[in-house]
Amino acid sequence: MMALQANASLFPKHKEHIVQLKTDRSQSNLAGTVTEIVVKDDNFSNIPMLMPLLAQLSRDDRWFVWIAPPVLLPKHLLIEAGIDLSKVILLNPDNKHSTYELAQQALSTGTSHAVISWPGYLSEEELSGLESAAKEGQSHGIVIRRRQHS
């Protein structure tokens, strides 16, 4: 079972209104999908906003893969945010493997329930490739990218 809940300490006045939603992984409608989060710029001010999401995603029984995060946060901040670091795998691209290739492989294997990546630009073909890989591995892909200006 996976629980989705707000951190009550963040909202002390509203503890009675916090709802806990439990879903079985097999019933999750996010498995086999890719979610895009578009940010305005690269100043990384959105990282604190993502902490509850990252904490929730670290609570599944499969791996939670982070690929090419823009900054490495101190371990104690991640733990304080509720992130189970024993479930997190951190991957960085190199000369042989791009962020896209790492994400595609992590999504398709089925050993990760969620893969979050910061790939920069993705073509429609690459995004479709990630969606296919997520379906194959019954994983949820999260792509965080910068807004494209025209």
- Quick: pLDDT tens for 38-96: 887 665 666 777 888 888 888 888 899 999 988 888 889 889 999 999 999 999 999 99
Kindly give, in sequence order, each residue whose CB lies less than 8 Å from that of residue 89, ignoring residues fewer than 6 positions away: 63, 64, 65, 66, 106, 112
Least confident of 27-31, 84-88, 118-122, 140-144: 27-31
Least confident of 20-24, 30-34, 61-65, 99-103: 20-24
5 found inside a domain: no
Question: Domain range spanning residue 68?
Answer: 27-146
Neighbours of 142 (CB within 10 A): 23
* 35, 61, 27, 68 alpha-carbon torsion, rounded to 10°: 10
What is the pTM assigned to this prediction?
0.75
The count of domains in the chain is 1
136 found inside a domain: yes
Cα–Cα distance measured from residue 129 to residue 6, given in angstroms and rounded to the nearest whole number? 33
18 found inside a domain: no
